[in-house]
């Protein structure tokens, strides 16, 4: 039963069947990992780790005589796979040499262990954590491969797969979906079933154990197993509660105790409390989806709800400063909170009302929208304790209960008059006001933030505060990924780690944005609170998951503090791009104002996309890593879809499978496709120069060996041109069908962060217009369509149009018959040959049968080359 124990080894289909069964069982048994890893990364990482090990094992066992070498070579394959992964994600550089590669592991794996140990399920893995998880899974698959295939130990393998049920027990004790339990059970049953259900009798030769062969009474055995399972399932709970306890429980275990053991410094969960002393990330990780508050508003677009404002950076953290209790510089700015109920920039008709009801909140601050003009509440005690801080825009309370549950209050706000054009023309002198007043201090801005701010601003060509803020916002949104569970490696500066790994949480995005803006002389602070939440009928519901941090930039008293949003939408907690940046993202408007032009309005977006490319292509390896790490849920903001766990790993898996065991299959498939395509095209050429030509020779005057009439040769060439056009059209249609299927499959797996555009041929249009429409769709993406592409499309369209709509060609020999009739007609009647010969633009008329093959072959080769050119263009389209 085992080659390592003196029994026959598996070969052929028996070996392949066992390996595929093990691979399927491992994938099924990994279902509980979905409770630990966010998005679809649990399946992607399991496939990335196990497929190379299992496939290489099957190939090596078929090639190597000494089977004890198989695990050793699999370890080498695993090491190479890990180095490729680390290189793709920018963790190591192969050019540094082997010593540097080994040394780098001493920093990769300690950081990975720290990330895994401090993460909270479900977690989004960073680059280091991904490498560690793949390594652990691959080693487990290697052990199971050795135990199951070489040693033939089914029971340990099945029990090990069943044991995956215990993996998430401590991190997710509440359990998961039914399939997280069914997966490991089915995997274990699959492995145990292969003990007796196999097709190779030699595999059990010499094995006298009863379970090594087919069941003597399969129905009776199956029935007994089912009855035993049902008895255990039905009696376990009643008997467990009825049996006496041997000893009383010494420690009352509950979730609070377990939470304390996991993190003794973690506060007990109660009402949601978010302020500058308890981080937003911790609140997001700890709290459930419990509703914090509900509100209704007359605003067309609900505002973020502020709790605290942080305006001081001490070198490590942003903190609050009491200077926000009075108007900045003794002047009233638009964003200052007021209690008189009057509008600053408009009339009372411009005011909006928000009625808030607290469901589960504790603290000394009331959540409120920006630009407050009045706060009222029906609770007299709370009304007396309210203190509105003008500059900070906070509603503070003192001397009241910390729990605010059941409190209702109304906030009147004013819509900001800020616009992109107005913010671009703000007097630069206003930016010094918060700095001179000490409200914002710039002494502690790290140099790394200064350098990055200078670079991004220069790349974007920003010349004012608004364009600089938009450039930073787009930089973070397009080049960074969101994750709550990412951690800085031990000993590394958090800011440096965040900017290098390009993955983090909202506090890091807001703080980095604020530091970068402040380094350019534009005062910026950080606000924390909640995003607007989700609409529920006429009201809005805000949960603890809507906790958020965002930056605000000072634009002088006329506009006050204006919100920006650097956190990517993959945060999935309700973040939204400020409306002031939606209509003016960049310098396009200002450029247009300086240089009026009658050019179409599409010029601005092209410039904006060019600016975005300049930012996003700065470090493609890190950008891909960061985007993929955001499984986010994955979410698939298409720009931050999960490329590490999707695109990068999918390419890695496919490449490794081809190298390890799928190379032969791929070569055979490709060879078959090439041969089939050659046969299709050769069939038309042979029909033109062989059977068709011979038939047309013989049908004219009965002389099969005579020269082919020039008119018949022209008919033959035109017939081949039309058939070749139809064949080229069919190949293009099939290529688009295959492309669409691949995109749907990859989209289902979540592999694409930003899926390629859908392109198709419109069958309702004539061939010429349909192909031009196809080229226009491709050109709308980022693929260049050349004049040669248009010319190739025109030739295919001409041939296909003739095949569909032109008059049918004469039957073979018609020209010869017309010539015979013309010979009996007076010369003045004209040439019957000229009348019989069809008009075929672009097709030469050969003079002999021998020459007939050359134009037919040239026509076929030309249209086939045109088809190849357009197929290559379709495959490049994005």
Q: pLDDT (tens digit, 9 = 90+) per residue, 230-283?
A: 888 788 778 777 776 555 444 443 434 434 444 444 433 445 545 444 456 655
The pTM of this model reads 0.43
Q: Is the alpha carbon torsion for 323, 326, 328, 334 positive or negative?
A: positive
% pLDDT > 70, the chain: 67
Q: CA 816 to CA 692: how far, in whole Å? A: 15
User: Residue 296: its pLDDT value, please?
Assistant: 94
Q: CA 339 to CA 374: how far, in whole Å? A: 4
Give me 50's structure tokens: 């196990």
Mean pLDDT of 365-378: 90
Q: CA 14 to CA 783: how far, in whole Å? A: 47
Mean pLDDT, the chain, rounded, equals 74
Mean pLDDT of 302-317: 85
Mean pLDDT of 117-129: 75
What are the distances in angstroms from CA 433 to CA 337, 437, 467?
18, 6, 20
User: Residue 644: its pLDDT value, please?
Assistant: 42
User: Residue 202: its pLDDT value, please?
Assistant: 53
Where are the strands (E) in 228-277, listed by range? Answer: none
User: Residue 691: its pLDDT value, please?
Assistant: 46
Other Cβ atoms within 10 Å of 457 Cβ, number: 20
Q: CA 303 to CA 535: how far, in whole Å? A: 13
Residue pair 26/46 in contact by the 8 Å Cβ criterion: yes
Give me 827's structure tokens: 């010369």
Q: Evaluate the omega torsion of the peptide bond into residue 122 and state whether it is cis, within 30 degrees of 0.
A: yes
610: CB partners within 8 A, 6+ apart: none
Task: Please determine, for residue 199, whether its predicted confidence score (pLDDT) is greater than 50.
Answer: no
Q: Which residue has the tokens 């197993």?
A: 225
User: Residue 172: its pLDDT value, please?
Assistant: 60
Query: Between 258 and 801, where is the model more confident?
Result: 801
Which among 106, 546, 57, 527 is positioned nearest to 284, based on CA atoms?
546
Query: Between 72 and 753, where is the model more confident?
Result: 72
Give me 54's structure tokens: 């299992």
Q: CA 81 to CA 28: how far, in whole Å? A: 23
Query: Between 626 and 785, where is the model more confident?
Result: 785
User: Residue 346: its pLDDT value, please?
Assistant: 76
Query: Which of 415-429, 487-501, 758-772 bottoms out in mean pLDDT, i.e. has the lowest?
Result: 487-501
Residue pair 476/509 in contact by the 8 Å Cβ criterion: yes
Mean pLDDT of 472-488: 84
Query: Between 814 and 392, where is the model more confident?
Result: 392
Mean pLDDT of 369-374: 92
**Which DSSP symbol is given to 10?**
P
Q: CA 717 to CA 856: how far, in whole Å? A: 5
**Confidence class of residue 288 from pLDDT cuts 50, 70 and 90?**
low
Query: Which of 352-366, 571-585, 701-715 bottoms out in mean pLDDT, i.e. has the lowest?
Result: 701-715
Mean pLDDT of 670-680: 73
Query: Which of 299-303, 381-385, 440-444, 555-559 bottoms out in mean pLDDT, i.e. has the lowest?
Result: 440-444
Q: CA 358 to CA 335: how far, in whole Å? A: 24
Give me 721's structure tokens: 């041109």
User: Residue 591: its pLDDT value, please?
Assistant: 42
**Confidence class of residue 175 from pLDDT cuts 50, 70 and 90?**
low
Task: Please determine, for residue 695, whether its predicted confidence score (pLDDT) is greater than 50.
Answer: no
Query: Between 582 and 687, where is the model more confident?
Result: 582
H helices, E strands: number in the chain: 30, 17
Give me 548's structure tokens: 């958020």
CB burial of 563-588 (b: ≥16 within 10 Å; e: otherwise) equals bbbbbbbbbebbbeebebbeebbbbb
Query: Between 424 and 668, where is the model more confident?
Result: 424
Residue pair 731/871 in contact by the 8 Å Cβ criterion: yes
Q: CA 221 to CA 218: how far, in whole Å? A: 5
Residue pair 420/584 in contact by the 8 Å Cβ criterion: yes
Mean pLDDT of 427-454: 86
Query: Between 589 and 189, where is the model more confident?
Result: 189
100: CB partners within 8 A, 6+ apart: 92, 93
**Confidence class of residue 686 from pLDDT cuts 50, 70 and 90?**
low
**Confidence class of residue 63 from pLDDT cuts 50, 70 and 90?**
confident
Q: CA 382 to CA 401: how far, in whole Å? A: 9
Phi and psi of 350, rounded to 5°?
Answer: -85, -5
Phi and psi of 806, rounded to 5°?
Answer: -70, 160
Read off the pLDDT of residues 575-591 as tens digits, 9 standing for 90 and up: 888 988 875 544 444 44
Q: CA 592 to CA 586: how far, in whole Å? A: 11
What are the distances in angstroms from CA 263 to CA 111, 266, 277, 547?
19, 5, 17, 22
**Confidence class of residue 197 from pLDDT cuts 50, 70 and 90?**
low
Which among 313, 326, 440 is positioned nearest to 391, based on CA atoms?
326
**Confidence class of residue 471 from pLDDT cuts 50, 70 and 90?**
very high
Which among 94, 19, 35, 528 is positioned nearest to 284, based on CA atoms?
528
């Amino acid at each position: 039963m085992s080659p390592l124990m003196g029994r026959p080894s598996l070969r052929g289909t028996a070996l392949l069947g066992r390996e595929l069964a093990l691979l399927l069982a491992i994938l099924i048994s990994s279902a509980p990992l979905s409770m630990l890893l966010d998005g679809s990364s649990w399946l992607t990482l399991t496939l990335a780790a196990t497929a190379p090990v299992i496939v290489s094992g099957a190939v090596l066992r078929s090639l190597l005589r000494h089977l004890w070498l198989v695990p050793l070579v699999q370890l080498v394959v695993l090491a190479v796979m890990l180095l490729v992964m680390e290189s793709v994600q920018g963790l190591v550089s192969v050019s540094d040499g082997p010593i540097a590669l080994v040394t780098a592991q001493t920093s990769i794996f300690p950081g990975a262990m720290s990330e895994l140990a401090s993460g909270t399920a479900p977690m989004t893995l960073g680059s280091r954590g991904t490498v560690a998880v793949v390594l652990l899974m691959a080693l487990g698959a290697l052990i199971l491969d050795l135990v199951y295939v070489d040693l033939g130990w089914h029971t340990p393998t099945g029990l090990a797969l069943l044991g995956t049920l215990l993996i998430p027990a401590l991190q997710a004790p509440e359990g998961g979906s039914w399939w997280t339990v069914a997966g490991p059970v089915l995997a274990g049953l699959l492995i145990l079933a292969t003990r007796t259900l196999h097709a190779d009798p030699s595999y059990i030769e010499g094995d006298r154990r009863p379970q090594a062969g087919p069941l003597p009474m399969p129905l009776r055995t199956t029935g007994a197993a089912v009855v035993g399972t049902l008895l255990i399932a039905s009696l376990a709970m009643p008997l467990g509660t009825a049996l006496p306890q041997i000893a009383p429980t010494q420690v009352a275990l509950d979730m609070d105790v377990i939470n304390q053991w996991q993190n003794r410094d973690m506060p007990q969960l109660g009402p949601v409390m978010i302020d500058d002393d308890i981080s937003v990330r911790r609140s997001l990780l700890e709290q459930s989806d419990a509703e914090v508050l509900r509100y209704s508003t007359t605003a067309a677009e609900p505002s973020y709800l502020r709790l605290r404002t942080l305006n001081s950076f001490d070198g490590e953290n942003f903190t609050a400063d009491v200077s926000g209790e009075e108007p900045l510089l003794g002047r009233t700015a638009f964003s200052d909170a007021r209690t008189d109920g009057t509008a600053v920039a408009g009339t009372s008709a411009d005011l909006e009302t928000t009625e808030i009801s607290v469901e589960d909140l504790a603290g000394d601050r009331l959540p409120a929208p920006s630009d407050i003009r009045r706060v009222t509440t029906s609770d007299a005690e709370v009304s007396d304790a309210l203190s509105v801080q003008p500059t900070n825009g906070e509603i503070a309370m003192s001397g009241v209960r910390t729990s605010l549950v059941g409190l209702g209050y109304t906030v009147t706000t004013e819509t900001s008059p800020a616009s992109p054009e107005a913010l671009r023309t703000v007097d630069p002198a206003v930016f010094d006001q918060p700095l001179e007043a000490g409200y914002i201090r710039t002494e502690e801005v790290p140099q790394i933030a200064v350098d990055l701010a200078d670079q991004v601003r220069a790349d974007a060509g920003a010349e004012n505060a608004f364009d600089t803020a938009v450039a930073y916002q787009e930089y973070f949104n397009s080049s960074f990924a969101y994750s709550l569970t990412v951690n800085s490696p031990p000993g590394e500066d958090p800011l440096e780690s965040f900017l290098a790994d390009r993955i983090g949480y909202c506090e890091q995005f807001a703080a980095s944005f604020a530091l970068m803006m402040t380094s350019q002389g534009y005062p910026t602070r950080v606000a924390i609170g909640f995003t607007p939440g989700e609409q529920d009928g006429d009201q809005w519901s805000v949960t603890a998951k809507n906790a958020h941090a965002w930056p605000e930039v000072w634009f002088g008293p006329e506009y006050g503090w204006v919100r920006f949003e650097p956190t990517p939408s993959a945060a999935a907690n309700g973040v939204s791009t400020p409306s002031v940046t939606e209509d003016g993202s960049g310098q396009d408007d200002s450029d247009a104002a300086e240089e009026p032009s009658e050019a179409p309005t599409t010029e601005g977006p092209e410039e904006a996309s060019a600016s975005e490319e300049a930012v996003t292509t700065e470090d493609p390896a890190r950008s891909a890593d960061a985007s993929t790490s955001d499984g986010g849920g994955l979410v698939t903001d298409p720009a931050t879809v999960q490329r590490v766990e999707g695109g990068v790993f999918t390419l890695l898996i496919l490449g490794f499978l081809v190298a390890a065991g799928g190379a032969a299959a791929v070569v055979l498939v490709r060879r078959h496709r090439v041969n089939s395509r050659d046969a299709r095209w050769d069939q038309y050429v042979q029909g033109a120069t062989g059977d068709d030509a011979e038939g047309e020779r013989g049908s004219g005057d009965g002389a099969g060996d005579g020269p082919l009439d020039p008119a018949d040769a022209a008919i033959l060439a035109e017939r081949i041109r039309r058939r070749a056009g139809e064949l080229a059209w069919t190949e293009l249609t099939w290529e688009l069908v295959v492309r669409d299927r691949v995109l749907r499959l990859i989209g289902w797996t979540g592999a694409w962060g930003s899926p390629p555009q859908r392109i198709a041929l419109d069958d309702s249009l004539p061939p010429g217009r349909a192909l031009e429409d196809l080229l226009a769709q491709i050109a709308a993406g980022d693929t260049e369509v050349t004049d040669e592409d248009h010319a190739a499309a025109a030739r295919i369209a001409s041939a296909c149009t003739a095949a569909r709509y032109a008059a049918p060609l004469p039957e073979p020999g018609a020209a010869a018959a017309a010539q015979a009739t013309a010979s009996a007609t007076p010369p003045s009647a004209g040439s019957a040959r000229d009348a019989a010969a069809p008009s075929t633009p672009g097709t030469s008329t050969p003079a002999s049968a021998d020459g007939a093959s050359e134009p037919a072959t040239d026509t076929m080769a030309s249209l086939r080359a045109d088809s190849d050119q357009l197929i290559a263009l379709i495959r490049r389209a994005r």
